[in-house]
């Protein structure tokens, strides 16, 4: 048995899709445990690019069972669209995709609330993806959510939508709404939407916690697919500039109903540099032309919203925080090739605040915003690593840079990604081989 959690170790978009797709070649099950269609996981297969938002990345492997667990918030329209997009591209989506009955739905009114909350926040806005994530998780916590199981029972569904909407109308009462937004707050409109998707989604609905238990007991290889990253975690991230779910191991266990003792290892995916989309502190951000060059080299534009990603240097302080709060066992470093053309590469090794060195990643966003990064500089290798498939094929300076990341994070690198394609991967250590003292 091997249960491997693969999660983002920065602010999202670390290349989780690419890594999970690579690992899925040797897996039986891939299970998404949190987030929603705010995620955009890119896989490049035989030169063709697929962007997955809700469907687990394992779907591109015909023999992998894909699970959308209870911790995910599913926009049913987005899911139907994604299923149709995959089928149109020749990807089989049938019994290999299952959606949990406990999973919450994102309704049209959640997206209206998301937009208005951002609007009201003004300069303090989060810069959300606008996919209704925050309002859907708020409803879940407030016990006003609509779940996938409700979708299958017209009477319960009608009642759940009625109760939830009654409150929304009060909240948005004084705000001028467009015609489209008013429609999204109409009971009949929401019900009609549910009826439309019911037929397509019903065959995929099942009790996914039982499914996970069964897979664990029968010794299947299971990948737990994280969305976003630990620095966007609702509790451990840069609050309030975070997403509304637990992106780390806690989210994986609760979002799938998985006993903690069954987890074999936790793998953190980190870019060889850093990016962030949306607002919030980013100590190592590179402004101006230099940042623009990195953005352009890395193709750093959001896979979901197309927004330009803010770019910066690798932040070892933030990385150590992620490692500490999730218990990452090993790292996957992606997009090494994007640094190929740089004469010098910087890594943040510490923070200084008002002349004092900080011992830990600060919990207060206002403090983090005032931190000055302390850098160590490394010489660039100025030669191509793109598509390198072995450690020995890497130039010595690239190896030194990776060794420095290991030293500064205190964790070993298990995989290195040198391109968007499935094959552009270096395996340093097999993530499926059990760690000492863990179940295998
Ligand atoms: P995710 O959300 O963590 O799955 O990451 P995204 O898919 O949003 O963004 C990562 C982007 O980098 C995608 O366009 C990938 O195709 C691409 N990518 C992933 N790994 C590598 C790599 O090692 N090198 C290069 N050049 N591109 C990569
Ligand atoms: P993947 O899985 C990068 C960011 C948004 C915003 C904040 C809150 O592709 O790595 P939300 O819509 O979740 O309420 O937005 O979180 N964000 C992401 N950034 N990658 C993602 O997903 C993200 N999902 C949300 O930009 O700052
Ligand atoms: Mg992404």
Q: What is the pLDDT of residue 292?
A: 96
Q: What is the pLDDT of residue 440?
A: 61
Mutate to test the pocket of ligand 1, among 6, 18, 386 (most ligand atoms within 8 A of CB): 18
Q: Where are the alpha helices (DSSP H) in 202-299?
A: 208-217, 249-256, 288-298
Nearest Cα residue to atom 1 of ligand 1: 13
Per the listing, tokens 């238990």 go with 213
CA within 13 Å, CB half, 230: 27
| Residue 114: active-site member | no
- Report cis status (omega within 30 of 0) of the bond before 364: no
Is the minimum distance from the CB of 8 to ligand 2 under 6 angstroms? yes
CA within 13 Å, CB half, 152: 15
Domain ranges in the chain? 2-101+204-265, 104-200, 269-427
Element (H, E) at 53: none
163 SS3 class = helix
28 is written with which tokens? 């039986």
Q: Which fold has domain 2-101+204-265?
A: Adenylosuccinate Synthetase; Chain A, domain 1 (3.40.440)
| Residue 13: active-site member | yes
430 is written with which tokens? 């097999």
Q: What is the pLDDT of residue 173?
A: 81
Mutate to test the pocket of ligand 2, among 130, 277, 300 (most ligand atoms within 8 A of CB): 277
CA 291/CA 358 separation, integer angstroms = 26
Q: What is the pLDDT of residue 439?
A: 65
Q: What is the pLDDT of residue 270?
A: 98
Nearest Cα residue to atom 13 of ligand 1: 42
Q: How many residues does the chain have?
A: 440
- Cα of 15 vs centre of ligand 1, distance in Å, is 4
CA 78/CA 133 separation, integer angstroms = 13
Give the list of residues 6+ apart from residue 422 with CB closer than 8 angstroms, or none. Answer: 18, 21, 22, 25, 43, 44, 45
Task: Give strand pairing partners of 308.
Answer: 301
The DSSP line for 387-405 is T--SGGGS-HHHHHHHHHH
Q: Which fold has domain 269-427?
A: Adenylosuccinate Synthetase; Chain A, domain 3 (3.90.170)
Q: Which fold has domain 104-200?
A: Adenylosuccinate Synthetase, subunit A; domain 2 (1.10.300)
Return the ligand 2 atom nearest residue 40 CA.
9
Element (H, E) at 378: strand 372-379
- The pLDDT tens digits along the chain (440 residues) read 599 999 999 999 999 999 999 999 999 999 999 999 999 999 999 999 999 999 999 999 999 999 999 999 999 999 999 999 999 999 999 999 999 999 999 999 999 999 999 999 999 999 999 999 999 999 999 999 999 999 999 999 999 999 999 989 888 887 889 999 999 999 999 999 999 999 999 999 999 999 999 999 999 999 999 999 999 999 999 999 999 999 999 999 999 999 999 999 999 999 999 999 999 999 999 999 999 999 999 999 988 888 999 999 999 999 999 999 999 999 999 999 999 999 999 999 999 999 999 989 999 999 999 999 999 999 999 999 999 999 999 999 999 999 999 999 999 999 999 999 999 999 999 999 878 777 66
Please tell me the pTM assigned to this model.
0.97
CA 131/CA 106 separation, integer angstroms = 8
C-alpha distances out from residue 423 to 252, 320, 363, 394, Å:
27, 29, 39, 15
Is the minimum distance from the CB of 228 to ligand 2 under 6 angstroms? yes
5 is written with which tokens? 């959690």
């Amino acid at each position: 048995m091997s249960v491997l959690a693969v999660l983002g170790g920065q602010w999202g978009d670390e290349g989780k899709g690419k890594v999970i797709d690579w690992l899925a070649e040797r897996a039986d099950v891939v299970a998404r445990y949190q987030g929603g269609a705010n995620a955009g996981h890119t896989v490049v297969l035989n030169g063709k690019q697929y962007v997955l938002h809700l469907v687990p990345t394992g779907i591109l492997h015909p023999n992998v069972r894909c699970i959308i667990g209870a911790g995910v918030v599913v926009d049913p329209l987005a899911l139907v669209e994604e299923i149709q997009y995959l089928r149109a591209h020749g990807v089989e989506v049938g019994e290999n995709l299952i959606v949990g009955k406990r999973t919450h739905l994102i309704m049209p009114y959640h997206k209206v609330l998301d937009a208005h909350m951002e609007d009201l926040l003004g300069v303090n806005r989060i810069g959300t993806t606008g996919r209704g994530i925050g309002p859907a998780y708020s409803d879940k916590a407030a016990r006003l959510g609509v779940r996938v199981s409700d979708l299958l029972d017209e009477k319960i569904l009608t009642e759940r939508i009625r109760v939830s909407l009654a409150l929304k109308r009060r909240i948005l009462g004084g705000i001028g709404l467009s015609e489209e937004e008013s429609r999204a707050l109409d009971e009949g409109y929401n019900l009609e939407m549910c009826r439309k998707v019911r037929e397509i989604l019903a065959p995929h609905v099942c009790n996914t916690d039982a499914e996970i238990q069964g897979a664990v007991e029968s010794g299947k290889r299971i990948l737990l697919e994280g969305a976003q990253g630990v620095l966007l975690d609702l509790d451990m991230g840069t609050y309030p500039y975070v997403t509304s779910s637990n992106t780390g191991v806690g989210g994986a266990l609760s979002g799938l109903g998985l006993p903690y003792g069954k987890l074999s290892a936790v793998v953190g995916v980190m870019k060889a540099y850093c990016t962030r989309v949306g607002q919030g502190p980013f100590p190592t951000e590179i402004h101006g032309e230099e940042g623009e060059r990195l953005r352009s080299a890395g193709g750093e534009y959001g896979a979901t919203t197309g927004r330009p990603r803010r770019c910066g240097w690798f932040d070892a302080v933030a990385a150590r925080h992620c490692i500490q709060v999730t218990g990452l066992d090993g790292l996957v470093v992606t997009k090494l090739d994007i640094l190929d053309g740089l004469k010098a590469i910087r890594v943040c090794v510490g923070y200084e605040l008002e002349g004092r060195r900080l011992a830990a990643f600060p919990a207060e966003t206002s403090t983090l915003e005032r931190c000055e990064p302390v850098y160590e500089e490394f010489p660039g290798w100025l030669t191509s690593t793109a598509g390198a498939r072995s450690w020995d094929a890497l130039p010595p300076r690239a190896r030194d840079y990776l060794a420095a990341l290991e030293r500064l994070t205190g964790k070993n690198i298990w995989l290195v990604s040198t391109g968007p394609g499935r094959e552009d991967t270096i395996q340093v250590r097999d993530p499926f081989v059990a760690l000492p003292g863990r179940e295998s």
